[in-house]
Amino acid sequence: MKGNSSLRLNACSVILRLVLFCFSCVCAQSEGDSILGQWYTEKCQAAFHFYCSGQEYKAKMVPLEKPDMVDTKNPVDSLKTRKLNGTTTIYGLVYNSKKKQWENGKVYNPEDGRTYSCYCFLKKGGTQLFFKGYLGVSVLGGSQIWTREKCTKGRR
């Protein structure tokens, strides 16, 4: 009889640990998902629609000033005629729950045809997204603050 109660106690312990582990994974996932949806650049030139694909976060570009913008500066000749509207230009972002930021990503800049490293994090209670793109070292790069607020004439 003693062996059975010990076995039941171990089984309960394993189940409890499994439930706690699953709950922590769900919390981490939902925290990382706070980036999902539409974000507008500072000067309202474009919006980026963030989505999750497997373990990484990506974003499709939506040019606002020039919706029919073509990727003329792309280094790949066959891509120079593609429209940028709906093109995934941000990819590889992984959420780091300790730093509370998305990191190790890449961003393609159609203005110069180059791909940069990037990271981002939320500010002001999740209403702003600090986005940084850089080459090599993060101090060598540019940053912007994006918002969820839709672009209006007064905000351009």
Residues 142/132, Cβ–Cβ less than 8 Å: yes
Tokens found for residue 83: 């429209």
Query: Tell me, what's the pLDDT at 6?
Result: 55
pLDDT digits (tens, 9 = 90+) for 76-92: 999 999 999 999 999 99
Residue 17 is predicted with a pLDDT of 43
Q: What's the Cα-to-Cα distance from 111 to each of 69, 79, 86, 94, 141, rounded to whole Å?
A: 11, 14, 16, 25, 15
Q: Which two tokens stand for residue 145?
A: 């603050």
Per-residue pLDDT tens over the stretch 12-50: 344 434 333 333 333 345 799 999 999 999 999 999 999
Among 149, 152, 32, CA closest to 96? 32
Per DSSP, what are the bridge partners of residue 48?
39, 61
How far apart (Å, rounded) are the C-alpha atoms in residues 2 and 135?
64
Question: What mean pLDDT comes out for the span 62-66?
Answer: 93
pLDDT of 150 above 50: yes
